């Protein structure tokens, strides 16, 4: 089924089929690496909810789930580096194998803050799986064990990612038309 992209989308950067293929690859690798381990997936809300749902269904292991909700943006489109925890974990992670599931790493400030926050609770292991990362934008060196797509430093929406809370339900990754930003200047 082919559908025209949303009228606010200037161009589709990554198709739904390409996303599926990447997720299948990541899920296979995670399944192999955590074969004999008790794995807890920790999703970073809200952006990661679509990715996490698809990734988890590709992982052939008895995983458990938890979520954190963070806010690093306020109304702007650039990370401030100040991360507010809106929802903490429900479970203890001490001694557990934790895989943090992120939608996108831009400056890396959000994920870095979370890593330090979670490391203090002494998990058995702590790794990152992020579906997208913006090339050359990271303010700090990052080790992402399960990286998905490297994308150019442009603002993207869809597949969980929003602009002003919209477009998260688009099944592909797109770039918005300048008119979609309304009175605000386009990000980046």
Residues at the contact surface with ligand IMP, assessed by CB under 6 A = 47, 72-73, 79, 102-110, 155-157, 161
Written in H, E and C, the secondary structure of 70-126 is EECCCCCCCCCCCCEEEECCCCCCCCCEEEEEEEEECCCHHHHHHHHHHHCCCCCEE
Nearest-approach distance from CB 100 to Mg ion, in angstroms: 16
6/34 with CB nearer ligand IMP: 6
Question: Catalytic: 4?
Answer: no
Give the per-residue contact string, 152-171, with Mg ion (x = CB under 5 A; - = no). Answer: ----------x---------
Binding partner selected for residue 130 from Mg ion, ligand IMP, none, CB under the kind-specific 5 to 8 Å limit: none
> DSSP 3-state assignment of 50?
helix
Nearest-approach distance from CB 168 to Mg ion, in angstroms: 9
Show Cβ contacts of residue 50 under 8 Å, excluding neighbours closer than 6 positions.
Answer: 103, 159, 160, 168, 169
Binding partner selected for residue 128 from Mg ion, ligand IMP, none, CB under the kind-specific 5 to 8 Å limit: none
Nearest-approach distance from CB 173 to Mg ion, in angstroms: 14
What angle do the packed helices 16-33 and 49-58 form, to 10 degrees?
A: 60
- Which residues contact Mg ion by CB under 5 A? 162
Active site residues: 106
């Amino acid at each position: 089924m082919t559908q025209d992209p949303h009228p606010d989308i200037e161009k589709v950067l990554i198709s739904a089929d390409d996303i599926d293929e990447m997720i299948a690859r990541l899920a296979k690798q995670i399944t192999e690496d955590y074969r004999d381990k008790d794995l807890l997936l920790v999703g970073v809300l809200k952006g990661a909810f679509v990715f996490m749902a698809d990734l988890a269904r590709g992982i052939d292991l008895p995983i458990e789930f938890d979520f954190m909700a963070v806010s690093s943006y306020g109304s702007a489109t650039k990370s401030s580096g100040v991360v507010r925890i809106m929802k903490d974990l429900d479970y203890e992670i001490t001694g557990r194998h934790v895989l943090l599931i992120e939608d996108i790493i831009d400056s890396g400030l959000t994920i870095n803050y979370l890593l330090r926050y979670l490391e203090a609770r002494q998990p058995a292991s702590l790794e990152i799986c992020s579906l997208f990362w913006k090339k050359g934008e990271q303010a700090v060196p990052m080790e992402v064990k399960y990286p998905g797509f490297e994308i150019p430093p442009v603002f993207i929406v869809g597949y969980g990612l929003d602009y002003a809370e919209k477009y998260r339900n688009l099944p592909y990754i797109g770039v918005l038309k300048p008119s979609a930003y309304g009175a605000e200047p386009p990000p980046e």
